[in-house]
């Protein structure tokens, strides 16, 4: 085995003058010349993800955001168990009631329980946001990685296509798609997925381009690894931090866009209701029944706020260099 040169310490000098190990008054002891000791690492092994989690945990705002994001997600999944009402059953004798013990958020113009409607609205809004983000991440990461890896003219053409699509205002594009596909949950998701991947593709391409020229990619290449494997093993995993941050920060956008589309009547179709639809319905009468607008609007604002907290925290944790 290889042994580096290192100064030897006179053992005679050690025995008398140096206190025994374990003496609490002594902070430092000579290390000696044991080679195995020289190479030892005392710090606990920590992966990138453990390290990021450690950083995220220290950020109170991000942690709060994360907790509430989970809470809203749980409400979306289990919310219907919290209520005895059907979101669509009308009680025409009990229309436009204020908040009370039986109807926590009151009722709407058809006597439907508003709390139940909001819980279902959160469910629809989050389904739209999550599913469309999953699809746009999948498309964007694949497209961006392929473009960056192939490079040259292919990259040029692929990115010009993105530029052209980005040149069309996304709202115009969304409206056109929904008109073609017809309104409804799935066409909204499809429309968001088809517009949302553009930014993701650009970011992933930029990230992969910079990773592509790092020496560990060359090293892997020198080992005979095929480009496809390199993309999966080296490029995408190293871009994952950016991808996660971008995906998290794109969710508020999707929720907001869905609310907006629903508000102008291009969103979810009745009797299903997203938070946007609820706000839209309530806005006609909000001078008389402000609570009908308050609760769905509050839900939208809080969800967007907490996702932004979490996204910013994730950015600081996953990419400390980007920290403001």
Instruction: Enumerate binding residues for other proteins (CB under 8 A).
Output: 1-5, 35-36, 39-41, 43, 45-48, 153, 214-216, 218-226, 233-234, 237-238
Helix (H/G/I), strand (E/B), else coil: 107: strand
Min CB(238)–other proteins separation in Å: 6
**Chain centroid to CA 256: how far?**
15
Closest to other proteins by CB, 239 or 257: 239
Min CB(103)–other proteins separation in Å: 52
Closest to other proteins by CB, 10 or 39: 39
Closest to other proteins by CB, 2 or 28: 2
Closest to other proteins by CB, 43 or 84: 43
Helices (H), the chain: 11-17, 35-38, 48-58, 60-78, 114-150, 152-167, 170-181, 185-212, 215-222, 227-230, 236-263, 275-283, 290-318
Cis upstream peptide for 183 (omega within 30°): no
Min CB(10)–other proteins separation in Å: 21
d(Cα 116, Cα 100) in Å, to the nearest integer? 14
d(Cα 215, Cα 145) in Å, to the nearest integer? 18
Min CB(301)–other proteins separation in Å: 37
Min CB(57)–other proteins separation in Å: 19
CB-based burial of residue 63 (10 Å sphere; 0-12 exposed, 13-18 middle, 19+ buried)? Answer: middle
Min CB(54)–other proteins separation in Å: 13
Closest to other proteins by CB, 84 or 321: 321
Of 241, 316, 305, 273, the C-alpha closest to 56 is: 316
d(Cα 291, Cα 115) in Å, to the nearest integer? 11
Closest to other proteins by CB, 9 or 218: 218
């Amino acid at each position: 085995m290889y042994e580096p040169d290192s100064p030897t310490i006179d053992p005679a000098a050690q025995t008398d003058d140096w206190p025994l190990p374990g003496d609490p008054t002594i902070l430092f002891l000579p290390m000696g010349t044991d080679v195995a000791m020289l190479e030892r690492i005392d710090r606990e092994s920590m992966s990138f993800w453990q390290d990021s989690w450690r950083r995220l945990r220290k950020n109170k705002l991000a942690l709060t955001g994360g907790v509430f994001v989970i809470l809203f997600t749980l409400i979306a999944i289990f919310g219907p168990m919290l209520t005895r009402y059907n979101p669509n059953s009308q009680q025409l004798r009990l229309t436009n009631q204020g908040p009370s013990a039986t109807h926590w958020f009151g009722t709407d113009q058809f006597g439907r329980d508003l709390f139940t409607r909001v819980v279902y609205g959160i469910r629809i809004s989050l389904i739209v946001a999550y599913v469309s983000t999953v699809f746009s991440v999948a498309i964007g990461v694949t497209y961006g990685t392929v473009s960056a890896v192939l490079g040259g003219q292919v990259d040029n053409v692929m990115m010009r296509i993105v530029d052209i699509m980005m040149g069309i205002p996304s709202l115009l594009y969304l409206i056109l798609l929904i008109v073609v596909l017809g309104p409804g949950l799935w066409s909204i998701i499809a429309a968001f997925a088809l517009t949302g991947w553009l930014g993701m593709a650009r970011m992933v391409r930029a990230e992969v381009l910079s990773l592509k020229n790092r020496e560990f990619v060359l090293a892997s290449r020198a080992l005979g690894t095929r480009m496809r494997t390199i993309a999966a093993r080296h490029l995408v995993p190293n871009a994952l931090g950016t991808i996660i941050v971008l995906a998290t920060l794109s969710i508020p956008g999707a929720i907001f866009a869905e609310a907006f589309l629903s508000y102008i009547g291009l969103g979810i179709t009745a009797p299903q209701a997203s938070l946007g639809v609820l706000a839209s319905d309530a806005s006609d009468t909000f001078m008389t029944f402000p609570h009908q607008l308050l609760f769905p609007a509050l839900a939208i604002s809080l969800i967007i706020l907490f996702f932004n907290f979490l996204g910013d925290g994730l950015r600081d944790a996953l990419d400390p260099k980007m920290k403001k």
